[in-house]
Amino acid sequence: MKPYSFNRFLVFLALLRCLAYVNGDVGEAEQLLLFKSTLQNPSRLPDWLKGNNPCTFTGVSCKNSTVSSIDLSNIDLSVDFGVVSSSLLTLPSLESFVAKNCNLTGTLSWGSRSQCSKLLSSVDLGVNRITGSVSDVSSLSGCQKLKSLNLSRNSMEFTGVSKPIGLSLQVIDLSFNRISGSEVLPWILSDGCGELLEFNVSGNNISGTIPESLKACSSLQLFDISRNNFSGVFPMDTLVNLSSLKTLMLAFNNFVGELPESLSELINLEKFDVSSNKLTGEIPAGLCQSSSLKVLYLQNNLLTGTIPSSLSNCSQLVSLDLSFNSLTGVIPSSFRYLSKLQDLMIWMNLLSGEIPEELTYIQTLENLILDFNYLTGSIPASLSNCTNLNWISLSNNRLGGEIPAALGQLSNLAILKLGNNSFSGNIPPELGDCKSLVWLDLNTNQLTGTIPPALFKQSGYIAAAYLTGKPFIYIKNDGSKQCHGAGNLLEFGGIRREDLDRISSRHPCNFTRLYLGITEPNFNHNGSMIFFDLSYNKLEGGIPKELGLMYYLFILNLGHNDLTGPIPDELSGLKTIAILDLSHNRLNGSIPNSLTTLGLGDADLSYNNLSGSIPESAPFDTFSPDKFSNNSGLCGYPLPLCKHDPNGKSNSRSKSNRREASLAGSVAMGLLFSLFCIFGVIIILVEMRKRKRKKAAAALEAYADNGNSYSGGGAAHTSTAWKLTSTREALSISLAAFEKPLRKLTFADLLEATNGFDNNSMIGSGGFGDVYRAQLKDNSIVAIKKLIHVSGQGDREFMAEMETIGKIKHRNLVPLLGYCKVGDERLLVYEYMKFGSLEDVLHDRKKTGLKLNWNTRRKIAIGSARGLAFLHHNCIPHIIHRDMKSSNVLLDENLEARVSDFGMARHMSAMDTHLSVSTLAGTPGYVPPEYYQSFRCSTKGDVYSYGVVLLELLTGKQPTDSPDFGDNNLVGWVKQHAKTKISDVFDRDLLKEDPGLEIELLQHLKVAVACLDDRPWKRPTMIQVMAMFKDIQAGAGIDSGSAIAAGDAHFSTVPEVEMTIKEDGEQGKQ
What is the spatial distance between Cα 812 and Cα 896, in angstroms, rounded to a whole number? 7
484 three-state secondary structure? coil
What is the spatial distance between Cα 412 and Cα 389, in angstroms, rounded to a whole number? 6
Contacts of 47 (CB under 8 A, 6+ apart): 56, 57, 58
What is the spatial distance between Cα 846 and Cα 916, in angstroms, rounded to a whole number? 31
What is the spatial distance between Cα 388 and Cα 396, in angstroms, rounded to a whole number? 24
883: annotated active-site residue: yes
104 three-state secondary structure? strand
Q: Where are the alpha helices (DSSP H) in 985-1021?
A: 988-993, 998-1011
Q: Which of 584, 622, 616 is CA-nearest to residue 601?
A: 622
635 three-state secondary structure? strand
CA atoms within 13 A on the CB side of 805: 29
704 three-state secondary structure? helix
List the end-to-end C-alpha distance of the chain, in Å, as a whole number.
55
Q: Which of 1067, 1026, 1070 is CA-nearest to residue 810?
A: 1067
Q: What is the DSSP string of 504-573?
A: GGTSSS----EEEEEE--S-SSSB--SEEE--SS--BSPPPGGGGG-TT--EEE--SS--EEPPPGGGGG
What is the spatial distance between Cα 430 and Cα 454, in angstroms, rounded to a whole number? 7
Residue 470 assigned to a binding site: no
Q: Identify whether the C-beta of residue 790 lies closer than 8 Å to the C-beta of residue 907.
A: yes
Cα dihedral 183, 188, 190, 193 in deg (nearest 10): -140
What is the spatial distance between Cα 668 and Cα 467, in angstroms, rounded to a whole number? 72
Q: Which of 989, 1063, 1064, 1055 is CA-nearest to residue 1026?
A: 1055
Q: Identify whether the C-beta of residue 1044 lies closer than 8 Å to the C-beta of residue 967.
A: no
Q: Where are the beta strands (DSSP E) in 189-253?
A: 198-200, 205-208, 222-224, 229-233, 247-249
Q: Identify whether the C-beta of residue 178 lies closer than 8 Å to the C-beta of residue 206.
A: no
Q: Of residues 76, 173, 343, 883, which has the active-site annotation?
A: 883
Q: What is the DSSP string of 164-177?
A: ------SEEE--SS
Tell me the pairing of strands 816-822 and 736-737.
antiparallel
Contacts of 936 (CB under 8 A, 6+ apart): 522, 554, 576, 578, 599, 914, 930
| β partners of residue 71 | 98
Q: Identify whether the C-beta of residue 473 lies closer than 8 Å to the C-beta of residue 500.
A: yes
275 three-state secondary structure? coil
Give the count of beta carbons closer than 10 Å to the beta carbon of residue 551.
17
Give the long-range contacts of residues 569-576, CB within 8 A, separation 24 or more. Answer: 569/545, 569/594, 570/545, 570/546, 571/543, 571/547, 571/595, 571/598, 572/548, 572/597, 572/598, 573/548, 573/549, 574/547, 574/548, 574/550, 574/598, 575/551, 575/599, 576/522, 576/551, 576/552, 576/934, 576/936
What is the spatial distance between Cα 680 and Cα 868, in angstroms, rounded to a whole number? 51
Angle at 101 between CA 96 and CA 102, to 5 degrees: 80
Give the count of beta carbons closer than 10 Å to the beta carbon of residue 353.
14
Q: Where are the beta strands (DSSP E) in 113-204?
A: 122-124, 148-150, 171-173, 180-181, 198-200
Residues belonging to the active site: 883
Residue numbering of the annotated binding site for ATP: 786
